[in-house]
């Protein structure tokens, strides 16, 4: 008996060890991996782990079930192989969380499935991602040792294969339901958010892995009918861009004005005077008409995507943003076409450069440079609580850029002054009292004051362009209608009554999606009318400037010849008509370049886009210390290309207070108190973004005392 007792105890101990390990790998390791991953990624987010689990408990549970199901797919394997596979999965997922943290810090957006096409998406602009190779080796070594230990030290024991098969199929079923939303949609049930305007919010609220799966589902776009290498070759042969023989080429400016529309659209009877007289005059004397915006109240990037590429939002999934999800590699664009003709292509936006991932997207669209709000001499720093930057900064930058560059300019400028919210304003000289409910009138008071300010800057821009010795073309359009805290009080029966059912009623939909635009020429301007989708702007501007386009613009040219310049909205094709042959060709080409196998790269004779190695941020390619003037109790530091809100930093990374004195021809002057300066230390100016990333910096310099 005494000899059997130890064997019995040993057998029991081994059983307990095996049960403990099995339960740990079935449930414990997925939980540890999820918590570890979320703690890592939330270092770059504004919502701590415990706050997420308490405020979005159901979404947390979906993430937890996802992890358990994912790990237990391997449960069908023999025990030791299941454990080894689980360790590998855990290590991979934690590394994925670490990579997401870095991308969130660099680009303010999580990794999506499209990023795997190019690992360069994990690289910054002036602050590239550097992998600590020794840390990575240590992690891989630890995983390897753990796997070896599993095979050597885990006791052998019989397994219940019925339970293993059951666990496998339950896990597989949950993953199938999560991916297909059949027969129910777990993500819809717990209200997962598609925060396409700021993707980091999705990670913050939906969880790292749940949000990744949601975005991956949206990225699964089935090919259009007849998509093949042969169909793309046929398109390449059918549409050939015409060569241009123009000699005098104008500067071309796209000015997309945030939430711009004609306030009189809400009812001219409610207004005392026209709040946008400059726009009205330019509209009437130029090529003008109605632009069928694909968006309402937001989605600005989709409108500029159409305008710059000639592609259509109607061929993308609902609630998606091309910039965020699909523009991962170079695309044919109007910027590339102008650059090919010797133009300098500049994108300008007085807001955060990372917003809608514009820093990387503009590079893929062929721009030479991007001047974002961080590089402008704004009245206030971004995010300081003083509202959005005024259009005067946009006007100043456009004019300064035209004067600074030697080449002809193509400029794509996106304003932000009239961005929501429109806080009710008690009085305005433009709205009558008594014709509208007070709440409606106060909303429109606020919005109309913005439109008036935008119109004043539009007038100034045109006056300055007329005074230049260079011919110019201005393409002016809004991105979408404004959205209010209560849209029904403005658009619906409680207000102006122009749109009571903007989602389902065709006329109401058009009343909140069709915007006025004009294309003005400084030489040979004349009035004519053309209604269009924003995808026509690239082809029109190239034709008017006498610049050769590409295959996409050739399709748009053909659509104009056939008077088919509006691509029907997906939900209203019964009212607007089905897609024409040319529109279907455009859809095939768009699918190929955004989602497909990119046959176009080898088959389009005019396909030349390459990511520019010379692309840079800011108005000037470099920032340089010029010199310093030693005055009684302070220095005046002169630096070229340094914007107003750059930070002066010493060699210990301590910020030194500096006061911007002004800038002329790129030379900015900053006043610094002598008491804050140590002449033995070196200093440099740095431009940061709101995430603390370094966008640009000068070389270190020293200030010498008298």
Q: What is the pLDDT of residue 102?
A: 85
| Side-chain-side CA neighbours of residue 265 (13 Å) | 24
| Helices and strands (H, E) in the chain, number of each type | 25, 17
**Residue for token pair 């610049």:** 547
pLDDT band of 122, cuts 50, 70, 90:
very low
User: How large is the average pLDDT for residues 473-497?
Assistant: 95
**Residue for token pair 């692309």:** 615
3-state secondary structure (DSSP) of residue 524: coil
Q: What predicted TM-score, i.e. pTM, was given to this entire model?
A: 0.85
pLDDT band of 132, cuts 50, 70, 90:
low
Q: How far apart are CA 261 and CA 133, in angstroms?
A: 53
Q: How far apart are CA 21 and CA 44, in angstroms?
A: 33
- Which of 288-292, 308-312, 594-598, 691-695 is the least confident region? 691-695
Per residue in 311-362, pLDDT (tens digit) is 999 999 887 889 988 998 899 999 999 999 999 999 999 999 988 989 999 9
Q: What is the pLDDT of residue 200?
A: 87
For residue 230, with 0-12 CB atoms within 10 Å meaning exposed, 13-18 middle and 19 or more buried, which class applies? Answer: exposed
Has residue 606 got a pLDDT over 70?
Answer: no
DSSP 317-351: -TT--HHHHT--S----HHHHHHHTTPEEEEEESS
Has residue 569 got a pLDDT over 50?
Answer: yes
User: Are the C-beta atoms of residues 662 and 669 closer than 8 Å to each other?
Assistant: yes
Q: What is the pLDDT of residue 119?
A: 44
For residue 456, with 0-12 CB atoms within 10 Å meaning exposed, 13-18 middle and 19 or more buried, which class applies? Answer: middle
Pairing mode of beta strands 647-650, 634-640: unpaired
Per residue in 642-691, pLDDT (tens digit) is 999 999 999 999 999 999 999 999 999 999 999 999 999 999 999 999 88
User: Are the C-beta atoms of residues 513 and 298 closer than 8 Å to each other?
Assistant: no
What is the Rg, in whole angstroms, of the alpha carbon atoms belonging to the chain?
29
Q: What is the pLDDT of residue 118?
A: 43
Residue closest to 346 by CA, chosen among 305, 399, 295: 399
Q: Strands of 683-688's sheet, edge to edge?
A: 655-656, 647-650, 683-688, 694-697
User: How large is the average pLDDT for residues 502-512?
Assistant: 94
Q: What is the pLDDT of residue 705?
A: 60
3-state secondary structure (DSSP) of residue 660: strand
Contact residues for 431 (Cβ-Cβ < 8 A; gap 6+): 270, 271, 272, 441, 444, 445, 448
Q: Of 128 and 519, which is predicted with more confidence?
A: 519
User: How large is the average pLDDT for residues 545-567?
Assistant: 96
pLDDT band of 610, cuts 50, 70, 90:
low
Q: What is the pLDDT of residue 126?
A: 36
pLDDT band of 128, cuts 50, 70, 90:
very low
Domains of the chain: 10-218 (no CATH), 248-603 (3.40.720.10), 620-697 (2.40.30)
Q: Which residues pair with 687 in a beta bridge?
A: 696
Has residue 621 got a pLDDT over 70?
Answer: yes
pLDDT band of 125, cuts 50, 70, 90:
very low
Q: Of 612 and 566, which is predicted with more confidence?
A: 566
Q: What is the pLDDT of residue 674?
A: 92
């Amino acid at each position: 008996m005494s000899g059997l007792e130890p064997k019995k105890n040993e057998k029991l101990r081994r059983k307990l060890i095996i049960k403990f390990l099995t339960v740990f790998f079935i449930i414990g390791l997925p939980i540890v991996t999820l918590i570890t991953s979320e703690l890592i990624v939330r270092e770059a987010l504004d919502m701590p782990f415990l706050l997420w689990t308490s405020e979005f408990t159901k979404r947390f549970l979906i993430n937890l079930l996802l992890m358990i199901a994912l790990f237990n797919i391997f449960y069908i394997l023999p025990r030791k192989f299941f454990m080894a596979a689980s360790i590998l999965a855990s290590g991979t997922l934690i590394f994925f969380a670490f990579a997401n943290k870095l991308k969130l810090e660099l680009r303010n957006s999580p990794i999506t499935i499209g990023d795997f096409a190019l690992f360069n998406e994990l690289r910054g602009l002036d602050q590239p991602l550097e992998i600590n190779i020794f840390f990575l080796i240590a992690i891989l070594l630890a995983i390897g040792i753990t796997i070896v230990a599993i095979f050597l030290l885990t006791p052998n024991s019989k397994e219940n294969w019925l339970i293993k098969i059951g666990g496998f199929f339950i896990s597989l079923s949950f993953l199938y339901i999560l991916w297909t939303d059949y027969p129910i949609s777990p993500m819809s049930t717990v209200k997962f958010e598609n925060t396409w305007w700021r993707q980091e919010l999705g990670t913050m609220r939906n969880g790292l892995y749940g949000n990744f799966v949601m975005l991956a589902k949206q990225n699964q776009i089935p090919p259009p009918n007849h998509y093949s290498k042969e169909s793309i070759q046929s398109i390449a042969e059918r549409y050939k861009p015409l060569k241009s023989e123009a000699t005098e080429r104008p500067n071309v400016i796209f000015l997309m004005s945030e939430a711009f529309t004609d306030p009189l659209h809400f009812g001219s009877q409610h207004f005392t005077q026209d709040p946008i007289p400059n726009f009205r005059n330019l509209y009437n004397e130029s090529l003008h008409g109605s632009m069928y915006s694909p968006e309402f109240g937001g989605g600005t990037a989709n409108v500029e995507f159409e305008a710059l590429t000639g592609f259509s939002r109607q061929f993308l999934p609902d609630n998606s943003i091309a910039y965020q999800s699909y523009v991962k590699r170079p695309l044919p664009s109007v910027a590339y076409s102008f650059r090919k003709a010797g133009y300098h292509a500049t994108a300008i936006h007085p807001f955060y450069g990372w917003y809608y991932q514009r820093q990387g997207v503009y590079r893929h669209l062929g721009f030479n440079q991007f001047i974002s709000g961080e590089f402008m001499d704004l009245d206030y720093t971004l995010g300081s609580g003083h509202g959005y930057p005024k259009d005067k900064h946009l006007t100043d930058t456009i004019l300064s850029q035209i004067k600074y560059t030697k080449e002809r300019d193509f400029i794509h400028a996106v304003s932000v002054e009239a961005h929501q919210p429109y806080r009710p304003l008690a009085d305005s000289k433009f709205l009558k009292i008594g014709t509208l409910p007070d709440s409606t009138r106060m909303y429109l008071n606020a919005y109309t004051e913005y439109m008036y300010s935008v119109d004043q800057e539009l007038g100034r821009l045109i006056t300055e362009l007329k005074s230049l010795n260079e011919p110019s073309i201005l393409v002016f359009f809004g991105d979408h209608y404004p959205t209010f805290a209560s849209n029904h009080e403005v658009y619906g029966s409680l207000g102006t009554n122009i749109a009571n059912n903007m989602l389902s009623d065709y006329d109401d939909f058009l009343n909140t999606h069709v915007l006025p635009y004009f294309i003005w020429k400084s030489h040979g301007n004349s009035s004519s009318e053309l209604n269009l989708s924003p995808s026509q702007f690239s082809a029109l501007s190239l034709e008017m400037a006498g610049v050769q386009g590409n295959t996409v613009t050739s399709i748009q040219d053909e659509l104009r010849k056939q008077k088919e310049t509006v691509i029907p909205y997906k939900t209203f094709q019964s009212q607007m008509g089905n897609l024409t042959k040319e529109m279907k060709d455009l859809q095939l080409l768009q699918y190929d370049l955004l989602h497909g196998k990119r046959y176009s790269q080898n088959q389009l004779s005019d396909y030349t886009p390459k990511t520019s190695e010379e692309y840079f941020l800011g108005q000037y390619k470099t920032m340089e210390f010029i010199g310093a003037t030693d005055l009684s109790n302070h220095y005046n530091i002169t630096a070229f290309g340094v914007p107003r809100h750059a930070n002066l930093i010493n060699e210990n990374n301590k910020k030194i207070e500096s006061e911007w004195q002004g800038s002329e021809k790129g030379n900015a002057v900053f006043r610094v108190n002598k008491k804050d300066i140590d002449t033995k230390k070196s200093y440099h100016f740095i431009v940061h973004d709101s995430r603390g990333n370094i966008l640009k910096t000068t070389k270190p310099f020293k200030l010498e005392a008298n």
